[in-house]
Amino acid sequence: YKKIPGTTFTVDGFRSTSVNDGVTHYFLSHFHADHYAGLRSSFNSGPIYCSQITANLVKQQLRVNPSYLHPLPMNIPTTVANVSVTLMDANHCPGAVIILFRLPDGTTHLHTGDFRAIPEMQQYTPLKGVTVDTLFLDTTYCDPRYAFPPQNEMIDLIVNRVREELKIGRTLVLIGSYQIGKERVFLSVAERLKLPVFVEKQKHSILKAIDLHHHHITTDKSSTPIRVAPIFMLSVPKLLSLLKTEGVNYSRIVAIRPTGWTHSASDTKQYGPVKVIGVPYSEHSSFSELKQFVHFINARRVVPTVNNSNGESVAKMLMDLGVK
């Protein structure tokens, strides 16, 4: 599911870079560790094609030699080794793309990397009137039990919740994020509440690299009661420990965990002065969104790229999606 049929291309396939595997060109869908795994500063196996934002991050964070990085334009076909390659926005994290490969004989493959399918994708010009032979599909949440509300609805919910929580004095609000991901959430909170949001210096450098440096973003902790924090830090024990060090300024902590693994719009856990609010804000497709996207693309073959370790699992996903 990483190698593109009929080519010597691989998508997100850096773990094995032996010349014996026949790969000559590397594509990186986005800058998340499970996709760039194996990519190091010493990489010298061939050109890497990706979006400009992803190229900036690979250079800054992994220190890969820039001569190997070849950022491609968005929505414009580019010829790579006689194959037409088009990048489109994946609605995942900044810089994430879905990739359309059209071979010289007309065979066409679409690789979604990680994505959140939305109706607007059906208006993508490069996808109009295209017959896709193979759809490599992000099946992270390919199960009928995963039904997420639209992202904008969840952002509205988070903004309103933060506004209400801050009405209670001496409240510190933490908004969960990844190294890259969930930026839309905390930037929306900052813009709509007109309050600065604190980020650590490393996160600040990443935001600058992806051109998301915003006037509401600050590296001065004392200037705001809202902070961006690694999502793995937002557990009750860790927050209670943090409150001990922040007790001079704050008497309670409210943590927002925006993740697709939360199924309900109000998954709240409270332990004394600490409250953790899970919000089903996902940057992967819900099951119904996957089904609609698969129907729209109508590929001759669908290849799941997640949870695909055994044939039974793959067969069930394809059956649930209505793929024959």
pLDDT in tens, 157-215: 999 999 999 999 999 999 999 999 999 999 999 999 999 999 999 999 999 988 887 78
**Residue pLDDT, tens place only, 89-128:** 999 999 999 999 999 999 999 999 999 999 999 999 999 9
Residue 306 CA to residue 314 CA, distance in Å, equals 9
The distance of Cα 171 from the centroid of its chain, to the nearest Å, equals 29
pTM across the whole model: 0.92
What does the pLDDT average to over 228-237? 94
CA–CA dist 148, 289 (Å, integer): 9
Amino acid 48 reads: I
Is the separation of the CB atoms in 101 and 7 below 8 Å? yes
What is the model's pLDDT at position 19? 43
β-pair type (78-80, 217-218): unpaired
Beta strand 301-304 pairing with 134-137: parallel
Q: Helix 287-297 to helix 311-321 angle, to the nearest 10 degrees?
A: 80
pLDDT in tens, 14-34: 986 544 478 999 999 999 999
